[in-house]
Chain A
């Protein structure tokens, strides 16, 4: 059980094409996601230096993902309890944190193929784009669902689900747990995040 969970999650994180690309055709969430994936793979395959690739990647990431919306969601009801300064600092750190995670995992890319299957609109302007990641070495493909929201003529990713495991929900429970271990103090989470971000490679 555990092995599957971790495997699926990490694989998804490792392979999820992150990146962003604001000029994809509005009304077509699937094309938007496929575009991001192609972009991300292009970066990873480019002959640029490692720091340069990391920078490109980080830029793609922050434009393709709605980091502030995800960050707020992940903080849950604690968002309202935070002071404006804490909110600011938290969002900044959260952005650095997720970019670092994804960049690290994305560096494990081994020629996987990324294909968008279908896209399903939902109430309220969101859509779920279903995609498959196939390993060149064979093995079962991995299902990744991208939840996107339409924002001002373009799309932004608001959640990633690997085999039905939601990144945002997982992080939300993790963050809540960190906060409650610090006696319900949001500053505790901010400090932990800060430490984590500064120790990232």
Chain B
């Protein structure tokens, strides 16, 4: 939802990264995120993360607080719904590219219902008809096609990403976004900038307390976010492959050597024979 020019820059940068760094990239999604954090550019990423946090603290958070204070709850929900509706064609495209016809059908019905009956997307009437919203994106599609994520990257403004997901973001917001295509064609580029701004503020307003709390409680906020991002993307790719039964590997609790001078109760769950053989 970035302004188009900016999006293409980011997208191109991601692609370049993907090409040039592809060799050293790992695949955090297949082996579970536990062992390797897949972050060879950590020192750069940490600096970028600090920049993103500073922008967040001095610019975004005050605006988001104001928005939340000044706007009634129902209006905030309506705005969030409308933004989701604008994003839904891209979700539909990815549902189809992943061959998930059932989810594609849900997304399509959601678009019609919410646009026509839900006042242009302001009301999520489809959710009440047992058609809940789901996310999808081209990064997940690429993952389902077997494209590795590449190394973890923190992007300006966009935050956690990687070459695969950064490129996916570019595709979603340039190729799969009818609103932005229309506005560009009609030469109303400012509409896209406004949308990006509203989207950013609306998102931030919805997560103010949670962000604050996680940040306050974590010992290393950067590492916590990195881990959460990688786990989330692994789960998204698993869902893209098989939405009915995404196979996200369980962490093995016998990874830690249970013997030794352990001042504790019994170690959790020894591995079964099937797991141990693996």
Contacts and interface: CB of A to CB of B under 8 A. Distances in A.
B235 interface: yes
Contacts of A135: none
A13 B272 CA distance: 30
Given A164-B235, A168-B251, A173-B227, A69 B272 contact: no
Interface residues of A, number: 68
Contacts of A6: 207, 210-211, 214, 225, 228
Contact of A10 (B33, B214, B251): B214
Contacts, number: 189
Nearest to A66: B268
A172 interface: yes
B190 interface: no
Interface string A10-46: 1101100000000000000000000000000000000
Contact of B220 (A88, A91, A181): A181
Interface string B139-176: 00000000000000000001111000100000000000
B20 interface: no
A91 B263 contact: yes
Q: Looking at A1, A91, A101, A156, which has the most chain B CB atoms within 10 Å of its CB?
A: A1
A126 interface: yes
B99 interface: no
B232 A84 contact: no
B78 to A, nearest CB: 13
Interface string B242-270: 00001010110111110011111111111
Contacts of A126: 253, 268-269
Interface residues of B, number: 64
A104 interface: yes
Q: Looking at A5, A13, A164, which has the most chain B CB atoms within 10 Å of its CB?
A: A5
A119 interface: no
Given A5-B228, A73-B268, A174-B219, 20 more contacts: A1-B160, A2-B159, A3-B206, A5-B229, A5-B232, A6-B210, A10-B211, A66-B265, A71-B264, A72-B264, A73-B253, A87-B261, A88-B263, A91-B263, A140-B132, A156-B265, A156-B268, A158-B253, A165-B235, A168-B251
Interface of A: 1-7, 9-11, 13-14, 66, 68-73, 75-77, 79-80, 84, 87-88, 91, 100-101, 104-105, 108, 122-126, 128, 137, 140, 147, 149, 151-152, 156, 158-159, 163-166, 168-178, 181, 189, 192-193, 196
A-B pairs, 5 with minimum CB distance: A123-B272, A68-B264, A10-B210, A177-B223, A164-B235
